[in-house]
Amino acid sequence: MGSTHNAISYGCALVVSLLLLLLLPLLGEAKGCDMFTGRWVEDASYPLYDPSKCPFIRREFACKRNGRPDLDYSTFRWQPQGCKLARFNGVEFLEKNKGKKIMFVGDSLSLNQWQSLTCMLHSSVPNSPYNITTKGTITTFTFQEYGVELKLDRNVYLVDIVRKKIGRVLKLDSINDGHNWSEMDTLIFNTWHWWSRRGPSQPWDYIQLGRNVTKDMDRVTAFKIALRTWGKWVDTVLDTHKTRVFFKEFHHLITRALWGEPTARSCAKQKEPLLGTSYPGGLPTEVRVLKRALRKISKPVTLLDITMLSLLRKDGHPSIYGLGGRTGNDCSHWCLSGVPDTWNEILYNYMA
């Protein structure tokens, strides 16, 4: 009898232990999971939504509608090492964020992520009424039934551009637009791509720091100063007990030689991700600058460290199926559905 009882007890303990082992990979951030180191795996249950059923999707991201014939790029899931991301649940997201305001602030990659999240949520509640309004630089997508506002502020430098007699001036030590951000419940910031722009697409004529005005300066240095200004704004103005702050990393333009495909025509006709867990070219200098800047901020800012996982996705860009069509070759933005959905799944895991 005693041996039977011991055997049953041992069996129960074994079952419990196995269940715990199975559950551990699902606990994500709570158990210190590194969500940003991993690999892309094919998953027949992806994509999370059909982009053709997202009625407000912008043309530059609608690769399927623009004629892209292969759709395998949308069937990959990000698999972190040692854990598993909780699958995005749009209804749960809306319920947990009832009455709240979530804002993306940055450049067109912020637009890409914001558009992704609006499509992900709409596909979860397709019959729920929504409203889209634009005032100045801010576009607001409201899920009226839940009172959830998803906002986008197109502020590509985070610091100010002002008009003076001499022309347009990029002020590295000024953030007057911060009043648009301080009342949000969640903020997701992003900047870099515009810092390297020159010529007609550059939206300023001079750079100012303090009283010093100059025609130009080293762009990485300017970027570093602007991040310092933004960090001071977070520390002095933002109430992080009320507002959770994220900063989304960025990726530089992909380089085909680093894929081991020197004859490839940029990102055009790429149909598969890079294998493995690291990008052959390593991380760009600007990422290290950003990480150093964030470490100097005393208030909590969560880094969405998505550069590496994004660089692996040479197949996920619009290329000729973006805004420019066959006369363009967009290797900066992302098809939807696609990689930005993963950024939002990671955001969802942090916010859960």
Q: Which residues are catalytic?
A: 108, 330, 333
Which residue reads 């509608």 in tokens? 65
* DSSP per-residue codes, 208-251: EETTEEES---HHHHHHHHHHHHHHHHHHH--TTT-EEEEE---
Q: Which residues contact 322 (CB under 8 A, 6 or more apart)?
A: 60, 61, 63, 66, 328, 330, 333
Contact of 116 with 310, CB cutoff 8 Å:
no
- 330, exposed or middle or buried, with CB in 10 Å at 0-12, 13-18, 19+? buried
Angle at the Cα of 73 from the Cα atoms of 305 and 121, rounded to 5 degrees: 65
- The number of beta carbons lying within 10 Å of the beta carbon of residue 294 is 18
- Taking the CA of residue 50 as centre, how many other CA atoms within 13 Å lie in the half-sphere pointing to its CB? 3
Q: What is the distance between the alpha carbons of residues 309 and 277, in angstroms, rounded to a whole number?
A: 8
Contact of 341 with 120, CB cutoff 8 Å:
yes
